[in-house]
Chains A and B, each alone.
Chain A
Amino acid sequence: MTAAEARRPWLLLAPTLLALLVLMVLPICIMLLFSFYEFVTGGVEREVLTTANWHEFFTDSYYHYFLWKTVRVAGITAVLCAVMGYPPAYFIAMTHFKHKWLLLLLLIVPFWISFTIRTFSWINILGEQGVINVVLLKLGIISEPLRMLYTEGAVIMGMIHFLLPYMILNVYVSLEGIDRNLISAARTLGCTNWQAFREVTLPLSLPGLMAGLLLCFVLAAGSYVTPEILGSGRDALFGNLIYDTIMGQLNWPMGATLSMVLLVLLGAVAAVYSRYMGLSRMFKGLSR
């Protein structure tokens, strides 16, 4: 191989690598640096190294509360996504329905519809003038509109709505890969449908299910727009905390510290994900 030959891939990669270095790697280094700067007042910080921000994060229970709340909400969301996402994935994988492609296409369509619109669409369902309240009032079941919007439940609902296609596609890809002869063998050997599912299909689809759970958890824990639209101030998550710290209080050092915390926490989850699942899996469903 000539030197020119060896250089060629690097020439092709140069713009991409340069962009990623400047736009991603360097900013994260600066973020780490900023987390050690001293906060003076809104929008002003002194470039002296101090561990005050980190000390504040590790000792102030205010931050621990938000961290715990974020993990809890993201965990609930991921589990509910698994519970709601498994049956449709199973149906699409096993059905003889001729227009199966349509069911798959309908899972891709939400990715094209603006995330903001999908999120605020729940206001029309859960709000005081939303479908549920109007119907229940008409039927005389309730006399006062129920308060469903701007609660933690609404936030979780909105996140499930956004994450469900990811879950279904992940589980579907893994169900599709199962050798049907195994199910057939289990049935021949006397298993009922349910037993065959529990002993063969379910265990074999676990990688997809786990991948879906991790993906949903990471995406839910990193979000801050859904709580912004569907939650009240009390339903803020860690992302909202970062946004307020930086854009509201202009406390850049603390904002950088909190961002580092989120990065390390979710980065660890993503690292586990890519280590055991392989990254290509997550995009398999999307690119077809």
Chain B
Amino acid sequence: MSPSASDVTSGWGWQAVKVLTILVYIFMFAPILAVVILSFNDSMFGGFPMTGFSLRWYEKLMGNEAVLRAFRTSLWVALVTSVICTTLGIMAAMALVRYEFPGKQLVNTMVIAPALVPETVLGVGLLLLIRWAQEPRTLGLMVAGHIMLALPYVVLVVQARLIGIKRVYEEAALSLGANRFHTFREVTLPLLMPAIVASMLLVFTISFDNITASMFWRPSGVETMPTQILSMLKISISPEINALGTLMIVITVGVPLLGGALARMLARGAK
């Protein structure tokens, strides 16, 4: 009998699994790679073959007022959403983890619900509310909508971390005379920091990236980054879109990676 009978990592079957895994990873990343490569294409048309290396599409992008405006809109919406949503989420998670109260199960389900209801339905719903109240569509509506969409994720991330923080620290602070608010600020909050940073980043990307619901919510004439890309795609497939895509990839992958490193540093500091 071989020393590790549970070792399935040998034989033809395993080799096949390995090859399939590699193929699936190629499937997932090849299209994205193509976007990055084509953004440097000198050709007038979006597509292969490459005719030369050029940065002119990036240059053109920097002068594209509509894109810059959409970028600023998305940035602000995502920042505001991120701050408010994380605050709400922390409060809700505190209540759900640290207290027992009647109806907790129902509240839990309701907080998770926006992640389960189809986004199209949530999009239509909020639009109907605005129509019913006879209010105009504003960016405030979009922020409110994004907060709702991201809330379940914040609560889940903060909850997971909060369960891991022992109650005794808080109880010690309370018994030493700190009030609830001080205890939260001095004890719980620093320990929660990694989860808070993670949530803020998560909310930021959820809001910045949202298109399905934003198509319903955006005020007329206002474009967010994803809706701007969609309307550019409708006109033509120009290499400029690939350049825009590459920039967005750099931002949206770079920010969480940096944030992750930051969170790890904070976690180390908290220990």
Nearest B residue to A14, CB-CB: B91
**Given contacts A30-B125, A112-B205, A129-B47, A267 and B116 within 8 Å (CB-CB):** yes
Q: Are B95 and A115 in contact, CB atoms less than 8 angstroms apart?
A: no
Q: Are A13 and B92 in contact, CB atoms less than 8 angstroms apart?
A: yes
* Size class of the contact patch on chain A: 35 or more
For residue B101, which residues in chain A have a CB less than 8 angstroms away from its CB?
A: 6, 9-10
Q: Are A117 and B229 in contact, CB atoms less than 8 angstroms apart?
A: yes
Which one of A48-56, A57-65, A188-196, A202-210 is at the interface? A188-196
For residue A193, which residues in chain B have a CB less than 8 angstroms away from its CB?
A: 8, 10-11, 13-14
Q: How many B residues have CB within 8 A of the partner chain?
A: 96
B154 to chain A, nearest CB (A): 10
Bitwise interface map of A from 234 to 256 toward B, beta carbon under 8 Å scored 1, else 0: 00000100110011000010011
Find residues 200-230 in chain B having any chain A CB closer than 8 Å to their own CB: 205, 208-209, 211-212, 215-216, 225-226, 229-230
B61 on the interface (CB 8 Å rule)?
A: no
Q: Are A225 and B111 in contact, CB atoms less than 8 angstroms apart?
A: no
A276 on the interface (CB 8 Å rule)?
A: no
For residue B80, which residues in chain A have a CB less than 8 angstroms away from its CB?
A: none
B119 on the interface (CB 8 Å rule)?
A: yes
Which one of B165-173, B248-256, B263-271 is at the interface? B248-256
Q: A residues touching B (Cβ–Cβ < 8 Å)?
A: 6, 8-10, 12-13, 15-17, 19-20, 22-28, 30-31, 34, 84-85, 87-88, 90-92, 94-96, 103, 106, 109-118, 120-125, 127-131, 134, 161, 164-165, 168, 180-181, 183-184, 187-188, 193-194, 196-197, 218, 221-225, 228-229, 239, 242-243, 246-247, 252, 255-256, 259, 262-263, 266-267, 270, 274, 279-280, 283, 286-287
Other A-B pairs beyond A23-B145, A91-B18, 9, CB < 8 Å: A6-B101, A9-B96, A112-B205, A123-B233, A125-B30, A127-B47, A229-B230, A246-B127, A247-B215
Q: B residues touching A (Cβ–Cβ < 8 Å)?
A: 1, 4-6, 8-11, 13-14, 16-18, 20-21, 24-25, 27-32, 34-35, 38, 45-49, 88-89, 91-92, 94-96, 98-99, 101, 107, 109-114, 116-122, 124-129, 131-132, 144-145, 147-148, 151, 153, 155-157, 160, 180, 198, 205, 208-209, 211-212, 215-216, 225-226, 229-230, 233, 237, 241-242, 245, 248-249, 252-253, 256
